[in-house]
Amino acid sequence: MKRFFVAAAMLLSVNAMFAQDTIVAQVVSEEELSDKPKNGGKVSLKPYGFVRDYMYYDSRQTYSTIASLFCQIPKDESYAPDNSEYDLNGESEMNFLAITTRLGLNMSGVRALNADVTAKIEADFCGFSTNNFMLRLRQAYYKMQWRGNKHSLLMGQAWHPMTGDLPEVLALASGSPFQPFSRSPQLRYDFKLSNMNFTYAALWQFQYKTTGPSEYDPKFNKIPEMFLGVDYSNNGFKIGYGLDIISIVPRTTATVTYEVYKKDENGNFLVDDNGLVTETKEKKVKVDERLTSCSPMLYMSYARNKFSVKAKGLLAENTGHLSMYNGFGVSEIEANRSQKYTPIRSLTGWFDLCYGSKWKVNLFGGFSKNLGSKDELAKGNQVYCRNSVKNIDYMWRICPAVSYTISGVTFGLEYELTNVGYGDSINSWADVEATRDVFNNRLCAMLKYAW
């Protein structure tokens, strides 16, 4: 089965390299070429953006990024060595920041190969990793839309297809880690047929990366991540299915040890009472490793007048690159130090209810359960997970919010109650044992002026 998925991923990657030319040629052949630009040859530029302030309070320390604005889950209990009653992660915190302020530019008016060409560039001031308060690229892509809107081709950095239909929450994390969250460089093709939309995308890792060994570098994957999806829409109702396939190379080299006979400064072998003296040395050797994981997704949404409901469920495998808390582990160590791997799985889902327009109320709920590893782990139970957190058995969140919008200005207030079931250890199937509940209460106030 694993060989089948690797072969399928390789075939899809080959298709991705030629997809643009093939799709363009097929669609253009259906119609007469007409590359006359709109608006008399003038490109239309439409700036947009907003100034956004967040003030938050957390009852304990959390796993978060962007100066704790992108908050996911509370940290486990961690007691001081000299005081078993003092939880080092139990300290509360509070902050007020405007770094999520956003600037964007939409471009249109160009025609090429009989398609309307649009483009987007979008940035904020959240930086990367720990480098906050600097300009950061969010999206940068151009899109070709052919007549009749049946075919479209997107190229550049945009939202990952698994993130479609984000919940209507105020928090910057947008429901993560229950909701996949990632923007990736990609080549995406959409085909619409009546009320059906088919999606195929080849994606590469950039800011959001798989958590792996220190040697891991996504450029060695060589096979891009693949997404296949289909959805049906009618009268405000939408239902869809997607399959994400990611094939990674955790390591390209390994360190092996070997024994050699020790020599003195004159080049003579050293001898003691036991015979020739040996010493241990290390060397790097090339290894051939790969892990292919598949994550199916089912989602639905319905909107009518001021009311909307959304829901999504995933059987996730190794989705750390989607800001989720699972990963993979070592299942076998071979004699040449090459390793085989197995994905860590989780069952994750959420729902979101929203009502209103000027005044808006919202209720979000999410749940995730660790399902352990697909194959038994090798001795040592070595696993790689987001933030190196491997002892999560389950997590859930309840999040009500209320907001008021007038003349482009939005005032919002949101409360998050997030609970994580942490364990003392994991077994050889990555199942968590001896769990305890750890809660975080987050109160977030938001003020946004959009144009």
User: What average pLDDT does the chain have?
Assistant: 90
pLDDT of residue 131: 65
pLDDT in tens, 359-413: 999 999 999 999 999 999 999 999 999 999 999 999 999 999 999 999 999 999 9
Lowest mean pLDDT segment, chosen from 143-152, 230-239, 428-437:
143-152
pLDDT of residue 168: 95
- CA terminus-to-terminus distance, the chain: 51
List phi, psi (to 5°) of 3. Answer: -65, -35
Cβ–Cβ < 8 Å for 367, 312: no
pLDDT of residue 38: 56
pLDDT of residue 35: 55
pLDDT in tens, 235-268: 999 999 999 999 999 999 998 888 888 888 888 8
pLDDT in tens, 306-357: 999 999 999 999 999 999 999 999 999 998 889 999 999 999 999 999 999 9
- Indicate whether 33 pLDDT > 80: no
160: confidence class by pLDDT, cuts 50, 70, 90: very high
pLDDT: is 170 or 2 the higher one?
170
Q: Please count the other Cβ atoms lying within 10 Å of the Cβ belonging to residue 364.
A: 26
CB-based contacts of 278: which residues, under 8 Å, 6+ apart? Answer: 259, 260, 261, 262
Q: What number is the average pLDDT over the span 54-72?
A: 96
pLDDT of residue 260: 85
Helices of type H across 247-333: none
Residue ranges of domains in the chain: 62-92+122-252+287-404+416-440
Cβ–Cβ < 8 Å for 166, 175: yes
29: confidence class by pLDDT, cuts 50, 70, 90: very low
pLDDT of residue 274: 82
d(CA 392, CA 433): 9
- Detail the DSSP E strand segments found in 125-172: 136-146, 151-159
Residues in the chain: 451
Number of H helices, E strands in the chain: 1, 27
pLDDT in tens, 97-126: 999 999 999 999 989 889 999 999 999 999
- Indicate whether 27 pLDDT > 50: no
The first and second tokens of residue 100, run together, are 């999520």
Owner of token pair 């090429």? 112
182: confidence class by pLDDT, cuts 50, 70, 90: very high
pLDDT of residue 18: 46
- Indicate whether 132 pLDDT > 80: no
d(CA 68, CA 21): 43
19: confidence class by pLDDT, cuts 50, 70, 90: very low
15: confidence class by pLDDT, cuts 50, 70, 90: low
pLDDT above 90 coverage of the chain, percent: 78
CB-based contacts of 428: which residues, under 8 Å, 6+ apart? Answer: 376, 377, 381
Residue 308 sits at the vertex; the CA angle it makes with 303 and 312, to the nearest 5 degrees, is: 100
The sign of the torsion formed by the CA atoms of 308, 192, 11, 139 equals negative
pLDDT of residue 379: 92
pLDDT of residue 289: 96
pTM recorded for the entire structure: 0.88
**Which region holds residue 307: left if phi is over 0, alpha if psi is between -120 and 50, else beta?**
beta
Please provide the CATH number assigned to the domain covering 62-92+122-252+287-404+416-440: 2.40.160
pLDDT of residue 267: 84
The first and second tokens of residue 336, run together, are 């040449």
